[in-house]
Amino acid sequence: MVKQTIQIFCRIKPTKSKTSVYEINPVEDGAHLSVMIPKEATDGYINNKKEDFRFRFRQIFDQTAKQEDVFALVARPVIDNVISGYNGTIFAYGQTGSGKTFTITGGPERFSDRGIIPRSLSYIFQQFGQHADQSHTVHVSYLEIYNENGYDLLDPKHEAAKLEDLPKVLLMEDEDQNMHLKNLSVHAAQNEEEALNLLFLGDTNRMIAETPMNQASTRSHCIFTVHVTSKEIGSATVRKAKLHLVDLAGSERVAKTNVNGLLLTEAKYINLSLHYLEQVIVALSEKHRSHIPYRNSMMTSVLRDSLGGNCMTTMIATCSVDKRNIEETISTCRFSQRVALIKNDARLNEELDPRLLINQLRAENLQLRNQITIQSGSEQFTELLTAELIAKLTEQVKNYLADTDNEATLNVGADMRKIDQCYRAFKKLHLELQEQVKTASTTPNKNSQPIYITHDISPYDSKEVKELKEIIKLRDNEISILVNMLKKEKKTEYRPFSESTTPPTDSSFSANDRAGNQ
């Protein structure tokens, strides 16, 4: 069990205008953000309002901070723990237009603008490649909470013309007080490319609108969850952990933005859900508080583990230092200071898989029986192997070599004739492979032309080329997904009005793992 407080970070949004309203002062194990509000005479009266505010953070990223620096300090430690079997959550909080979505998801223009989510997916699969002694699986889900209703952004049908066409996600609680999300699909991702395609598909379905404070304001809370399962080769113990990457909708003052209509309704729901979140934070920070109001909103119910539960949680507060936004920045920093008081009890999510244990014991039992038979010499085989049996053994060897499962075995029993024949098959395949490599290296290609290198390729150039290739690859995937969506949208336009689509298959997963089951 690991007991620790929620780690809080701060990121300052770049601004074009020069400002002197804040200072960053490094201190031991952190940094202080000082915010100054200059006094202004109002109607000739003396202004005695407080003008200096100081807030402590684990790290403060100034306006020049890069996305890779934010990921390295904020997200990487959490992901390392998730791979080890601990639940993790990273969420961004701040005023609308302060850079939350850019920090969590990233920008679409440059490869270096990738946010925490795409970088996390890349890092997870990169770490898997460095642990050949373990097997891993990854599943992802994407939940959007809009006007206190949950929607599955990864609907398998991909035929939604608007958000309301997506399946609604229902929040359900069982008798053991475990929260479940019904209708939220969970998708397997075999590699980084598949995971990024799912992320892009979900982002295309998000609710985005233009407001006076932000040209592309996200009008909903989104939770991208990565489920990681890992197991050491030869072990029946499985570690399961989940990583919540949360992009909260931005808080805004309605009187300041003067929005109306649908934008006003959205703002009310956003501010109300953030108010309920603050209520939970305040309740958790108070000692001897018996009741925590998680059920007040869908968001706090889903993030129940992340706030005071079985999870390692990190928060990044995004702040705007424009003079017109100073009050909201101070409010964001005050909220983060309350969050820093919350202690989570993270537990290793490790369990014994009975099916793996049974298979492991059966294989071990068979192996021991074969060893006893060989050592005792109780069975003697003198007949020669038939050509049919030799071909069958050779095929078994080929299948064994082609099997990507690290726990695959080649079992031919205790018959020494079969064992010897398998060794012969291994040797023959090895010699054939060597001959193929030798032939390929000595035979010239008639179509090949001499290559002349006119300049050295520096590591910077090769890195840049790699990034450009990645961008092209991502854009091709995005174009393919959008084309398919457009084709399906055209089909729905000519569909008779009375026709209804078949709802997706229900799926659910636990959003609140009980401590006793960990």
Q: Give the residue numbers of the binding site.
A: 94-101
Quick one: DSSP state of residue 383? S
Alpha helices in 45-146 (DSSP H): 67-70, 76-84, 100-104, 116-129
Place of tokens 């969590």: 104
- Measured between alpha carbons, how far is 302 from 510 in angstroms, rounded to an integer? 9
In this structure, are residues 114 and 103 in contact, taking their beta carbons and an 8 Å threshold? no
- Measured between alpha carbons, how far is 509 from 17 in angstroms, rounded to an integer? 47
**Residue-level length of the chain:** 518
Quick one: DSSP state of residue 385? P
- Measured between alpha carbons, how far is 300 from 179 in angstroms, rounded to an integer? 11
- Measured between alpha carbons, how far is 477 from 471 in angstroms, rounded to an integer? 10
3-state SS track over 246-273? EECCCECCHHHHCCCCHHHHHHHHHHHH
Question: Within a 10 A sphere around the Cβ of 273, how many other Cβ atoms?
Answer: 23
- Measured between alpha carbons, how far is 157 from 144 in angstroms, rounded to an integer? 17
Sign of CA dihedral 190, 192, 193, 197: positive
Backbone angles phi, psi at 188, to 5 degrees: -75, 140
Place of tokens 């002694």: 133
Annotated binding site for ATP: 94-101
CA angle 474, 477, 482 (to 5 degrees): 125
